Amino acid sequence: MARITSDFFVSAYVRRRNDAGLFTAVVKRGAAEAGAIFVKVARLDGSADLYGPAPQVYLDDLAPAIAGGRVFERLLDAAPEPDIDARLRSERRFDEDCWIVETEDREGSADLDIVES
Protein backbone atom coordinates (compact mmCIF):
# COMPACT_ATOMS: atom_id res chain seq x y z
CA MET A 1 0.00 0.00 0.00
CA ALA A 2 1.38 3.38 -0.99
CA ARG A 3 1.62 6.19 1.50
CA ILE A 4 -0.87 9.02 1.08
CA THR A 5 0.54 12.33 -0.12
CA SER A 6 1.66 14.95 2.38
CA ASP A 7 -0.78 17.59 1.15
CA PHE A 8 -3.73 15.18 1.43
CA PHE A 9 -2.70 14.08 4.94
CA VAL A 10 -2.21 17.65 6.16
CA SER A 11 -5.50 18.81 4.64
CA ALA A 12 -7.43 16.00 6.33
CA TYR A 13 -5.59 16.50 9.64
CA VAL A 14 -6.28 20.25 9.74
CA ARG A 15 -9.95 19.74 8.88
CA ARG A 16 -10.41 16.96 11.47
CA ARG A 17 -8.80 18.98 14.26
CA ASN A 18 -10.64 22.21 13.41
CA ASP A 19 -13.95 20.32 13.16
CA ALA A 20 -13.28 19.05 16.71
CA GLY A 21 -12.85 22.66 17.90
CA LEU A 22 -9.05 22.45 18.17
CA PHE A 23 -7.47 25.36 16.30
CA THR A 24 -5.06 23.96 13.72
CA ALA A 25 -3.19 25.70 10.91
CA VAL A 26 -0.47 25.05 8.37
CA VAL A 27 2.50 27.23 9.34
CA LYS A 28 4.64 26.14 6.38
CA ARG A 29 3.61 24.27 3.25
CA GLY A 30 6.05 21.65 2.05
CA ALA A 31 6.39 19.33 -0.92
CA ALA A 32 2.93 18.13 -1.96
CA GLU A 33 3.85 14.52 -2.63
CA ALA A 34 6.27 13.47 0.07
CA GLY A 35 7.38 16.35 2.28
CA ALA A 36 8.15 15.41 5.89
CA ILE A 37 5.42 16.58 8.28
CA PHE A 38 6.11 18.11 11.70
CA VAL A 39 3.25 18.80 14.12
CA LYS A 40 3.54 21.20 17.06
CA VAL A 41 0.88 20.77 19.75
CA ALA A 42 0.70 23.97 21.79
CA ARG A 43 -0.63 23.25 25.29
CA LEU A 44 -1.57 26.92 25.82
CA ASP A 45 0.56 27.17 28.97
CA GLY A 46 3.86 28.09 27.30
CA SER A 47 4.80 24.49 26.57
CA ALA A 48 4.29 22.29 23.54
CA ASP A 49 4.96 18.85 22.12
CA LEU A 50 6.62 18.20 18.78
CA TYR A 51 5.99 15.23 16.50
CA GLY A 52 7.90 14.29 13.39
CA PRO A 53 8.03 11.40 10.95
CA ALA A 54 8.92 8.07 12.54
CA PRO A 55 12.12 6.50 11.21
CA GLN A 56 11.48 3.90 8.49
CA VAL A 57 12.79 1.11 10.75
CA TYR A 58 9.66 1.44 12.93
CA LEU A 59 7.32 1.00 9.96
CA ASP A 60 8.43 -2.53 9.04
CA ASP A 61 6.37 -4.22 11.78
CA LEU A 62 3.22 -2.07 11.48
CA ALA A 63 -0.07 -3.15 9.94
CA PRO A 64 -0.30 -2.11 6.26
CA ALA A 65 -3.23 0.25 6.99
CA ILE A 66 -1.07 2.18 9.43
CA ALA A 67 2.18 1.94 7.51
CA GLY A 68 0.36 3.14 4.37
CA GLY A 69 -0.55 6.32 6.20
CA ARG A 70 1.68 8.59 8.21
CA VAL A 71 3.33 7.48 11.44
CA PHE A 72 4.98 9.88 13.88
CA GLU A 73 7.30 9.87 16.85
CA ARG A 74 7.33 12.37 19.70
CA LEU A 75 10.47 14.48 19.33
CA LEU A 76 9.90 16.84 22.29
CA ASP A 77 7.44 16.51 25.17
CA ALA A 78 6.03 19.47 27.14
CA ALA A 79 9.04 21.58 26.14
CA PRO A 80 9.08 25.38 26.27
CA GLU A 81 7.58 26.74 23.04
CA PRO A 82 10.76 28.69 22.14
CA ASP A 83 12.67 25.37 22.18
CA ILE A 84 10.11 23.80 19.84
CA ASP A 85 10.23 26.83 17.54
CA ALA A 86 14.04 26.68 17.43
CA ARG A 87 13.90 22.97 16.52
CA LEU A 88 11.41 23.74 13.73
CA ARG A 89 13.65 26.49 12.35
CA SER A 90 16.47 23.95 12.27
CA GLU A 91 14.27 21.40 10.49
CA ARG A 92 13.33 24.04 7.88
CA ARG A 93 17.00 24.82 7.21
CA PHE A 94 17.74 21.11 6.84
CA ASP A 95 14.67 20.27 4.72
CA GLU A 96 13.02 23.09 2.77
CA ASP A 97 10.29 20.68 1.60
CA CYS A 98 8.98 19.90 5.10
CA TRP A 99 5.51 20.79 6.34
CA ILE A 100 4.90 22.47 9.70
CA VAL A 101 1.46 22.23 11.26
CA GLU A 102 0.51 23.82 14.56
CA THR A 103 -2.47 22.79 16.65
CA GLU A 104 -3.70 23.71 20.11
CA ASP A 105 -4.88 21.39 22.87
CA ARG A 106 -4.51 21.97 26.60
CA GLU A 107 -4.41 18.18 27.13
CA GLY A 108 -1.63 17.73 24.55
CA SER A 109 -3.64 15.39 22.32
CA ALA A 110 -2.03 15.09 18.88
CA ASP A 111 -4.54 12.79 17.14
CA LEU A 112 -1.70 11.07 15.23
CA ASP A 113 -0.49 7.49 14.82
CA ILE A 114 2.56 7.47 17.12
CA VAL A 115 5.28 4.86 17.61
CA GLU A 116 7.17 4.67 20.86
CA SER A 117 10.92 4.75 20.29
How many of the other CB atoms lie within 10 Å of CB of 69?
Answer: 15
CB 54 within 8 A of CB 107: no
Helix ranges restricted to H, 32-80: 64-67
Mean pLDDT of 78-106: 96
The lowest-confidence range among 12-26, 61-75, 101-115 is 61-75
First to last CA, the chain: 24
CA distance 67 to 58: 9
Domains recognised in the chain with CATH numbers: 6-114 (3.40.1530.20)
DSSP state of 46: S
CB 49 within 8 A of CB 68: no
Taking the whole predicted model, whether its pTM rises above 0.75 is answered as yes
CB 66 within 8 A of CB 9: no
Please report the pLDDT score of residue 113 as a whole number. 87
Mind listing the pLDDT tens digit for each residue in 38-72? 999 999 999 999 999 988 655 556 554 554 568 89
In this predicted structure, the answer to whether residue 97 has a pLDDT above a threshold of 80 is yes
In 3-state terms, what secondary structure has residue 73?
Answer: strand
